[in-house]
Amino acid sequence: MKQENKVGELVKNRYVIAGLKTEMALRTGGIAERQAREYLCNFEGEPELFVGLGDEYLQNRHKEYTHLSLDDCEYMWTGALFCQKLLSFEGFMLHASAVVYQGRAYLFSAPSGTGKSTHTSLWCKVFGEDSAYIINDDKPVIRLYGDEIRVCGTPWSGKTDQNRNISVPLQGICFLERSKENWIRPIDTKTAVFRILNQTIRPENGREMGSLLSVLDKLLPRISVFQMGCNISEDAVMTAFDAMSKQ
């Protein structure tokens, strides 16, 4: 019979996240541990990556960011650590809300508070909850799998806890801003690179930056990136879908 951990006690578990064999040490009952449960997997062999913060590190972050609970800190910094390590595996996290429709993932990225989640939840309303769903509402992973580019759910999905442990081919990325009228246009490579850099964890050194840019080098020739001004309406959804669904 498995012994129950006390709430707050550090527990090490094995997970598969974005296709990666991951070992994580998380505080039992915390947001991170609870949201990671869907990703539990007792894989064979050695982990490909390890996520653990260390008590001192966590306490220091908590002292620095007094408006965040210890729980929030663990959630945010385990996510950041996974994001950083992911760079070694041809993947990166984008601060975006990812909605799936007709088997393809559409990512809407913007600074917090702009309305990414509002927009993607409108997709679910317009296309129906049976047809469109959120794969990750805050930090989906984009990862190269050989020739394919896929979007993966992760435990780090922000406040609304919407995420699914699946991966779906990426259709397009769109940078949102608020606007009275709906408009959308493609953006060039250079602009796309900088927009993406602004909405992902900053690589800390040349090697990490090189890894990220190497992924973008493979991704950008194949995936359309857009900029969109939108309001809250069905027309906003159709404007985005019509432009982004074209191959």
Partner 1 sequence: MRIKENYMIRSVAGQNIVVPIGDAAIDFNAMISLNDTGTFLWNKMTEETTESALINSLLEEYDVSEAVAAADVSAFVNKLREAKLINE
Applying CB under 8 A, which residues contact partner 1?
A: 189-191, 193-194, 197, 202-206, 209-210, 213, 216-217, 220-221
Q: Which two tokens stand for residue 39?
A: 């990703």
Beta strands in the chain (DSSP E): 10-17, 20-27, 49-51, 91-93, 96-101, 104-109, 132-136, 141-145, 148-152, 167-178, 183-186, 224-230
Query: Shortest distance, CB of residue 120 to partner 1, whole angstroms?
Result: 26
Of the pair 65, 194, the CB lying nearest partner 1 is at 194
Query: Shortest distance, CB of residue 201 to partner 1, whole angstroms?
Result: 11
Q: Are the C-beta atoms of 226 and 102 separated by less than 8 Å?
A: no
Provide CB contacts within 8 A for 131, sequence distance 6+: 101, 102
* DSSP-assigned letter for residue 40: B
Of the pair 44, 188, the CB lying nearest partner 1 is at 188
Query: Shortest distance, CB of residue 46 to partner 1, whole angstroms?
Result: 30
Of the pair 83, 124, the CB lying nearest partner 1 is at 83
Of the pair 35, 171, the CB lying nearest partner 1 is at 171
Of the pair 204, 234, the CB lying nearest partner 1 is at 204
What is the sign of the dihedral through the CA atoms of 65, 70, 72 and 74?
Answer: positive
Query: Shortest distance, CB of residue 154 to partner 1, whole angstroms?
Result: 24
Q: Which two tokens stand for residue 229?
A: 């001004």
**At what angle are helices 189-198 and 206-219 packed, to 10 degrees?**
130
Query: Shortest distance, CB of residue 190 to partner 1, whole angstroms?
Result: 4
Q: How many alpha carbons lie under 13 Å from residue 52 in its C-beta half-sphere?
A: 14
| Residue where the block lists tokens 């993932």 | 105
Of the pair 25, 213, the CB lying nearest partner 1 is at 213
- Number of helices (H), then strands (E), belonging to the chain: the values are 7, 12
Query: Shortest distance, CB of residue 195 to partner 1, whole angstroms?
Result: 9
